[in-house]
Amino acid sequence: MSAALGLILGLGLFLGVALGASRRLDALCEPALALLQATPVVSWLALAVFAFGIGWRGPVLLTTLNLLPLATLTVRSGFRSVDGELLEMARVFRVPRGRVLARIVLPSLRPFLGAALDVAAPGAWKAVLVTEYLCGDGGWGVRLAWARQTVDTPALYAVTLAAVLGGWGFERLLRRLGRRFSC
C-alpha cells in the first residue's frame, strides 16, 4: 500500500508540476489522463492479472493507475495558483530554478499535496484491499476472500473490522506526519 501511495504522490507531484508549468505538455497529456480516469478499474484488473498474474504487482499497479490522475490534476491546479508576481520577481532577479522550486513552488503546493493525500490515502487503502481480494497473493483482501470462500462469518467480520481500523489508523498517521512536515 505504501508503494502505491508513494508512486501516486511522487509521480503526481512530478507530473502535476510539469503539466502546470507547460500548457503545451498539459494539452498533450490531457487525453491520456482522461483515458486513465475513464477506464474501469475492473478492466485494469483483468489486464494486470494477464500481465503479472497473481501477486503484489496488480494491487500496486491498479491503485496507482486509479488515483494518479487525481493527484496529478490536484498538483497541476496548485502549481497554476502559485503567486505569479513571486515567480516574475524570481525571474527578474535571476534566481536559480532549483531555489525557485524549493522556496516558492513547493511551499505553495503544500495545501494541494495535503488535499491529494487526504483523498489518495483512503482511496489507496480501499483499492489495495479490493485488488488483493481479486488478484493478490497476501494481505487482508486475500483473507477476506478466504473468509468468503470458506463461509467463515466470524473471520469475515474480524478482517473487515481490522481493515476499517487499520485504514482509519493509517489515515490518522499520515495526517499527523503531514502536519509535522507542513510546519
State which CATH number among 3.40.50.720, 1.10.3720.10, 3.40.50.1100, 2.60.40.10 fits the domain covering 2-182: 1.10.3720.10
The pLDDT of residue 46 is: 85
The pLDDT of residue 127 is: 86
Question: In this model, does residue 80 exceed pLDDT 60?
Answer: yes
Grid cell listed for 94: 535571476
pLDDT level of residue 145 (50, 70, 90 thresholds): very high
The pLDDT of residue 183 is: 47
Domain extents in the chain: 2-182
Average pLDDT (98-104) is 91
How would you write the chain as a 3-class SS string? CHHHHHHHHHHHHHHHHHHHHCHHHHHHHHHHHHHHHHCCHHHHHHHHHHHHCCCCHHHHHHHHHHHHHHHHHHHHHHHHCCCHHHHHHHHHCCCCHHHHHHHHHHHHHHHHHHHHHHHHHHHHHHHHHHHHHHHCCCCHHHHHHHHHHCCCHHHHHHHHHHHHHHHHHHHHHHHHHHHHHHC
Average pLDDT (75-92) is 92
